[in-house]
Amino acid sequence: MALSPNLSTSRWFQLAAVIALAGVFVFPLWQITLEAAQFPGGLQMHIWINKVSGSDKHIVKNINILNHYIGMQAIHPESIPELKYFPFVAYAMMALGLLGIWINKVWYYGFWFLLLAILGALGIYDFYLWLYDYGHNLDPKAPIEVPGMSYMPPLLGEKDLLNFYVKSYPHFGGLGLGLAVLLGFASFWTKWKFNKMQ
């Protein structure tokens, strides 16, 4: 059966987009896994919209202990400002999304999904900058110095960093964000189709 949008299809897509976006409060956005012989199962660090956690509650502390040997700054989630205001951005986008269900106009759906896509891209760029800073801004008095070596984890993919094999991929929250953009686009597209059919 071909998709034949009716009066409320776009609204349903928009609602689904808001629910998918709400996933960023339920699941981490990103997961960075550090694998080494001495750490069976690896160390999993989870980056959420509002916190940094891991496979156990001491993971950030334990990664900081390891990182200090190569002069990386300690990760102090409480001093990362993004973790404080990103949740409000997400809440605002969810509110604007719900507003779209009520307005139900093609231009509004277009505006919402484009805004979400731009904010998402900016968020990833910001994450990249943090990773770059952690990886390159090293303490000159670090006990272990490898000439020419930097420790930036990959934004997406896998990489060898000294004794660790580092994997970096989106987690469910990050995938939910991507899905929200696609669903937002779907509500825009179905609305546009519906208007054309009228």
* Nearest distance, CB of residue 83 and another protein, angstroms: 22
C-alpha neighbours within 13 Å on the C-beta side of residue 74: 9
* Nearest distance, CB of residue 62 and another protein, angstroms: 5
Angle of CA points 168, 179, 15, to nearest 5°: 145
Nearer to another protein by C-beta: 141 or 196? 141
The pair of three-digit structure tokens given for residue 84, joined into one six-digit string? 């404080």
Nearer to another protein by C-beta: 41 or 81? 41
How far is the C-alpha of 134 from the C-alpha of 32, rounded, in Å? Answer: 14
Nearer to another protein by C-beta: 62 or 150? 62
- Beta-carbon count within 10 A of 56 CB: 9
Q: Under 8 Å CB-to-CB from 83, ≥6 apart: which residues?
A: 48, 49, 50, 51, 52, 77
* Nearest distance, CB of residue 60 and another protein, angstroms: 11
* Nearest distance, CB of residue 76 and another protein, angstroms: 14
* Nearest distance, CB of residue 80 and another protein, angstroms: 21
Nearer to another protein by C-beta: 58 or 84? 58
The pair of three-digit structure tokens given for residue 152, joined into one six-digit string? 């930036």
End-to-end CA distance of the chain: 20
Bridge partners of 161, per DSSP, are: 164
Footprint on this chain of another protein (rule: CB under 8 A): 58, 61-62, 65, 69, 143-144
Length of the chain: 198
Nearer to another protein by C-beta: 31 or 67? 67
